């Protein structure tokens, strides 16, 4: 996504947050939030768009379009600046706690003069929030939990933020270098990224370093030299750039991709082979002579290993598998024939059915499911009539897409007992049903396990959506006996989703790997709510790869007839 889109979306989201602190109109606030999501998810760069262009973005009306114009012209939004000035920085700092709403942030500031996160934690421990209206023991627990989540997330960013930044930097530096790419945890597709590592190959590092520090979003140059330069961006993210001679490219890329654990293992193997492997290259241990290794493949070959996909490089058994030549053939985005989870503006999506289907066709998919939310998620106001009307629209639209089979589905809500929204007859009318936990996240492990098992046993539930329901940095995964759930999924022929949303990546990789061993099948979906979200599929694929999935493990790599047989479950 374009950086401008993200920045404008952040500002509009902040506007919504600031308005809710000052007691703004709820309807307006939700409109801003929706617009922020739409702008972040819009596939085209908003910078340079005029009023008419901006208004074509779903959920963006005249008033919001004007604010974005303001951003395009000045780099900020006037109203945001005004509100920032009115609201104490301390209150704004408190609203960063995921479980503390703006109203409560304002209350603790006004009543107790608390203006920072550590102060708030301290006050809770000292019992100073007791007696404050609306703050029970449960609220206190929630706030402490929120502070915990925030600390765990630390300074790390979600993968899409890092990926977009890396893409922009690589595009800017590539013309100056023989090679240029990202390495580090981003190349391994870890779910959060500490800092971005960029690697370039050239005999002339100077101009590359200069171009790097001159990039428009650089706020600080932390360190600069001919080998390595580090900067900090406007969003607070650090980027390390290393420039290496072309003949060391393979070894350097291998080194800076990591992980550290993987590198320790490869270095040991090198030592045993009479070699020395470091960030400077691959050398003969005896003569110290550089062994030219322009590619990673050459490095691994010298070590007697097949090339190891970066997503496996965690010292999680990949070295052992490589030594036996038993690395899995990992699933890729090209293997995916379909997407089984997406939303339109009939519920909380921001694009129309027609637009979402056009985007799916552009991805070259063979089948595509529209799965808007079911009625029990009350905010979405779904009804039987609306759902059936959409089904008609889908059938009509099908005529325009001879190469793309449209599936009409829904995303059901798994209630606390494991039941879902509609009765069996109505459910039978859908081509595919995703079922997800959207409420009662804090059930006990036993209750939650039973809930998932019952959902799997429902013959109309095909895919469990974002199974742990976590939001990275915001909401912990639900507690279940996962092995029990996985056995139920495998036994009933219910797929588990790998949701590609950067703040979900759910199932997480470690659980994917466990589930796979128990015979579970998976569906890698975008859960797209906007046109731009289709691009997120790469993060779902990365997560699936980190869970060692092969194409056969993933039902939406299968031809449609095989998929349809799976969707019939045991009936
Ligand atoms: P991050 O930034 O925390 O998300 O994770 P990484 O893996 O990107 O870590 P980073 O940026 O500190 O270093 C990039 C890679 O460079 C790392 O994956 C492996 C390599 N590396 C860095 N320092 C060391 C080290 O002290 N020993 C070894 N063996 N490798 C290192
Ligand atoms: Ca890094
Ligand atoms: Ca680094
Ligand atoms: Zn969904």
Angle of helix 537-546 relative to helix 509-517, nearest 10 degrees, comes to 60
Asked if residue 571 has pLDDT above 70, the reply is no
The mean pLDDT of 137-154, rounded to a whole number, is: 80
Look at the domain 157-244 and name its fold: Beta Polymerase; domain 2 (3.30.460)
- Overall average pLDDT of the 439-451 stretch: 97
- Which residues of the chain form CATH 3.30.210.10? 249-323
Q: Which residues of 463-502 are buried (b: 16+ CB within 10 A; e: fewer)?
A: bbbbbbbbbbbebebbbbebebbbbbbbebbbbbbbbbbb
Nearest to 544 by CA among 511, 568, 503, 567: 511
Distance 259 CA to ligand 1 centre (A): 6
Q: Which residues contact 306 (CB under 8 A, 6 or more apart)?
A: 300, 322, 325, 327
Q: Which residues of the chain are in CATH 3.20.20.140 domains?
A: 333-568
Report the atom number in ligand 1 closest to the C-alpha of 267: 29
pTM for the predicted model, two decimal places: 0.85
Distance 263 CA to ligand 2 centre (A): 14
Q: Tell me the average pLDDT of the chain.
A: 93
- Decide whether any atom of ligand 1 lies within 6 Å of the 542 Cβ: no
User: According to the model, what pLDDT value does residue 12 have?
Assistant: 94
Class of the domain covering 249-323: alpha beta
pLDDT at 365 over 90: yes
138 pLDDT band, cuts 50/70/90, is: confident
Minimum-distance ligand 1 atom for the alpha carbon of 190: 4
Q: How does residue 106 score in pLDDT terms, banded at 50, 70 and 90?
A: confident
Q: Which residue has the higher pLDDT, 2 or 192?
A: 192
pLDDT at 91 over 90: no
CA–CA distance, 437 with 451 (Å, rounded to integer): 9
Contact assessment for residue 352 and residue 343, using Cβ atoms and an 8 Å cutoff: no
Whether residue 151 is predicted with pLDDT greater than 80 in this model: the reply is no
pLDDT at residue 343, rounded to an integer: 97
Asked if the model's pLDDT at residue 379 lies above 80, the reply is: no
Average pLDDT over residues 514-541: 97
Report the pLDDT averaged over residues 529-556. 97
The listed CATH number (3.90.79.10, 3.40.190.80, 1.10.150.110, 1.10.150.530) that belongs to domain 3-147: 1.10.150.110
In sequence order, which ranges of 325-444 are alpha helices (DSSP H)? 353-362, 384-398, 424-428
CA of 287 to the centre of ligand 4 (A): 59
Cβ of 398 closer than 6 Å to ligand 1, yes or no, is no
The ligand whose atoms approach the alpha carbon of 155 most closely is 1
**Ligand nearest to C-alpha 263:** 1
CA 152–ligand 3 middle distance (angstroms)? 19
Which residue reads 């270098």 in tokens?
177
Question: How much is the average pLDDT of 145-159?
Answer: 81
Which of the ligands is closest to the CA of residue 411? 4
Please report which residue ranges of 303-444 form alpha helices under DSSP H.
Answer: 318-323, 353-362, 384-398, 424-428
Q: Where in the chain is the domain with CATH 1.10.150.110?
A: 3-147
| The pLDDT of residue 154 is above 70 | no
pLDDT higher than threshold 80 for residue 537: yes
pLDDT at 100 over 90: no
Encode pLDDT of 246-304 as tens digits.
Answer: 999 999 999 999 999 999 999 999 999 999 999 888 999 999 999 988 999 999 999 99
- Using an 8 Å Cβ cutoff, are 231 and 218 in contact? yes
Higher pLDDT, 286 or 148: 286
Q: Is the CB of 259 under 6 A from ligand 1?
A: yes
pLDDT given at position 126: 87
State if residue 278 touches ligand 1 by the CB under 6 angstroms criterion.
no
For 333-568, give the CATH class. Answer: alpha beta
Atom of ligand 1 nearest to the CA of 197: 11
- What pLDDT does residue 378 have? 76
Using CA atoms, how far apart are residues 150 and 556, in angstroms rounded to an integer?
35
Rounded to 5°, the CA angle 131-135-137 comes to 95
Which of the four pLDDT bands, split at 50, 70 and 90, describes residue 97? confident
Q: Identify which ligand lies nearest to the alpha carbon of 165.
A: 2
Give the closest residue (by CA) to ligand 1 atom 3: 194
Residue 1 has pLDDT above 50, yes or no: no
pLDDT, average across residues 97-117: 83
User: In the chain, what is the straight-line distance between the N-terminal and C-terminal CA atoms, in Å?
Assistant: 43
């Amino acid at each position: 996504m374009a950086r401008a889109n993200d920045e404008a979306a952040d500002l509009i989201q902040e506007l919504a947050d600031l308005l809710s602190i000052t007691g703004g109109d709820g309807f307006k606030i939700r409109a801003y939030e929706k617009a922020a999501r739409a702008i972040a998810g819009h596939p085209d760069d908003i910078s340079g768009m005029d009023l008419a262009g901006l208004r074509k973005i779903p959920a963006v009306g005249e008033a919001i379009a004007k604010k974005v114009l303001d951003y395009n012209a000045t780099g900020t939004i006037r109203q945001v600046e005004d509100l920032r000035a009115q609201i104490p920085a301390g209150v704004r700092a408190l609203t960063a706690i995921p479980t503390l709403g703006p109203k409560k942030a304002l209350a603790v500031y006004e009543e107790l003069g608390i203006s920072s996160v550590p102060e708030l934690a301290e006050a809770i421990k000292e019992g100073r929030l007791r007696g404050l209206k609306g703050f029970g023991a449960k609220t206190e627990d929630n706030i402490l939990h929120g502070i915990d989540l925030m600390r765990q997330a630390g300074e790390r960013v979600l993968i899409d933020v890092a990926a977009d930044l890396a893409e922009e930097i690589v595009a800017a530096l590539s013309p100056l270098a023989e090679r240029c790419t990202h390495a580090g945890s981003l190349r391994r597709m870890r779910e959060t990224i500490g800092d971005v590592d960029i690697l370039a190959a050239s005999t002339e590092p100077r101009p590359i370093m200069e171009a790097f520090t001159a990039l428009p979003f650089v706020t600080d140059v932390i360190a600069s030299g001919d080998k390595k330069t580090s900067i900090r961006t406007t969003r607070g993210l650090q980027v390390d750039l290393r420039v290496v001679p072309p003949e060391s490219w393979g070894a350097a890329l291998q080194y800076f991709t990591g992980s550290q654990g993987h590198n320790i293992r490869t270095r040991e193997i090198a030592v045993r082979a009479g070699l020395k492997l470091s960030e400077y290259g691959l050398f003969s241990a005896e003569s110290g002579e550089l062994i030219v290794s322009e590619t990673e493949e050459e490095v691994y070959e010298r070590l007697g290993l097949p090339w190891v996909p970066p997503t496996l490089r965690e010292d999680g058994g990949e070295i052992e598998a490589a030594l036996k030549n038993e690395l899995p053939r990992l699933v890729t985005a090209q293997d995916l024939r379909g997407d089984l989870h997406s939303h339109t503006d009939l519920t909380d999506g921001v694009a129309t059915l027609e637009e979402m289907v056009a985007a799916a066709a552009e991805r070259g998919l063979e089948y595509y499911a529209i799965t808007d939310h079911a009625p029990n998620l009350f905010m979405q106001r779904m009804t039987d009539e609306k759902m059936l009307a959409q089904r008609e629209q889908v059938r009509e639209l099908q005529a325009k897409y001879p190469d793309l089979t449209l599936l009409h589905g829904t995303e059901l809500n798994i209630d606390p007992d494991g039941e879902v929204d509609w009765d069996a007859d109505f459910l039978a009318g859908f081509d595919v049903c995703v079922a997800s936990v959207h409420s009662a996240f804090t059930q006990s492990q036993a209750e939650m396990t039973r809930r998932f098992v019952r959902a799997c046993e429902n013959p109309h539930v095909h895919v469990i959506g974002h199974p742990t329901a976590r939001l990275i940095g915001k909401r912990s995964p639900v507690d279940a006996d996962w092995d029990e759930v996985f056995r139920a999924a495998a036994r009933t022929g219910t797929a588990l989703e790998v949701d590609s949303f950067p703040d979900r990546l759910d199932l997480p990789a470690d659980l994917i790997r466990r589930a796979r061993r128990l015979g579970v099948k998976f569906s890698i979906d975008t859960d797209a709510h906007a046109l731009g979200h289709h691009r997120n599929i790469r993060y779902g694929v990365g997560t699936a790869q980190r869970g060692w999935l092969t194409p056969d493990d993933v039902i939406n790599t299968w031809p449609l007839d095989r998929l349809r047989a799976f969707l019939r479950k045991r009936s």
